[in-house]
């Protein structure tokens, strides 16, 4: 069973529906035991870094997520779920993230006001790691983004994919059992469903 971690994020149902569409056994839950006993876990996310961390802390989910990531079982963060894995975000200074990886989360620069912020829509990605959720995905596929802040990972070895939007964005990370994407696989058509199928295979 894959636990979709519920802390009130906006895209939980779209993740649930996508997993059900590909035949995955999954459940939306905020129960500690259900999350820790799951075979895989997904941390979705839409919204504010600070609000998400505040909600997770109040519900006791923060420590559960950290414990789960140390279990060795497959873990996938999506959008804000990627940013939360890092120490902090420029969006809400002073709020501590999960601090699982090192790097900076900063606002997408737009000095000449030539870009639309938030970055919303389809962009192609350059895949750096050909395994994990990117197994058997060829070329530079287009995927769907919605974000105003972006990751610059400290350890470039964990970067699984990048994209360009005024600046190079670390669009996905993979290290061991932990995977995260800035884009939304559940909204990225056939290629996104393939990534989710790859994650389900990792869980099996």
Mean pLDDT of the chain: 96
| CA atoms of 189 and 162, how far apart (whole Å) | 19
For position 138, what pLDDT does the model report? 94
For position 11, what pLDDT does the model report? 76
Q: Which sequence positions are flagged as catalytic?
A: 79, 184, 186
Closest CA to 86 of 99, 70, 95: 99
Rounded percentage of the chain residues whose pLDDT exceeds 90: 93
Q: What is the mean pLDDT of residues 100-105?
A: 98
Token pair recorded at residue 173: 């990370």
Q: List, in order, residues 6 or more apart from 151 with CB less than 8 Å away.
A: 82, 83, 86, 103, 104, 105, 169, 170, 171, 173, 182
Token pair recorded at residue 98: 């999960």
- The answer to whether residues 59 and 68 touch, using CB atoms and an 8 Å cutoff, is no
Nearest-5° Cα angle at 63, 58 to 66:
140
- Domains present along the chain, CATH in parentheses: 2-203 (3.40.50.880)
Rounded percentage of the chain residues whose pLDDT exceeds 70: 100
Report pLDDT digits (tens) over 119-128.
999 999 999 9
Q: What is the mean pLDDT of residues 17-28?
A: 97
What pTM does this model have?
0.96
Residue 18 has pLDDT above 90, yes or no: yes
Residue 112 has pLDDT above 80, yes or no: no
Q: List, in order, residues 6 or more apart from 12 with CB less than 8 Å away.
A: 4, 6, 28, 44
For position 46, what pLDDT does the model report? 85
Element (H, E) at 142: strand 142-147
Residue 7 has pLDDT above 90, yes or no: no
For position 158, what pLDDT does the model report? 98
Q: What is the mean pLDDT of residues 68-87?
A: 98
Residue 166 has pLDDT above 80, yes or no: yes
CA–CA distance from 202 to each of 168, 173, 195 (Å)? 28, 16, 11
Q: What is the mean pLDDT of residues 163-169?
A: 96
């Amino acid at each position: 069973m894959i636990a979709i971690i519920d802390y009130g994020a906006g895209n939980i149902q779209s993740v649930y529906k996508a997993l059900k569409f590909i035949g995955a056994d999954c459940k939306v839950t905020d129960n500690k035991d259900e999350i820790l006993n799951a075979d895989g876990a997904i941390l979705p996310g839409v919204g504010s870094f600070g609000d998400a961390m505040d909600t997770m802390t109040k519900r006791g989910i923060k420590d559960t997520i950290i414990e789960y990531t140390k279990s060795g079982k497959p873990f996938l963060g999506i959008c804000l779920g990627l940013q939360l894995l890092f120490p902090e975000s420029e969006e809400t200074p002073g709020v501590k993230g999960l601090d699982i990886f090192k790097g900076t989360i900063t606002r997408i620069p737009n000095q000449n006001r030539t870009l639309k912020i938030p970055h919303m829509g389809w962009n192609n990605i350059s895949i750096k790691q050909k395994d994990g959720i990117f197994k058997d995905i060829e070329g530079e596929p287009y995927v769907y983004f919605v974000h105003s802040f972006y990751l610059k990972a400290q350890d470039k070895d964990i970067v699984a994919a990048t994209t360009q939007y005024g600046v190079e964005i670390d669009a996905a990370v993979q290290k061991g059992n932990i995977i995260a994407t800035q884009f939304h696989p559940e909204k990225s058509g056939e290629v996104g469903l393939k990534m989710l199928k790859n994650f389900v295979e990792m869980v099996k």
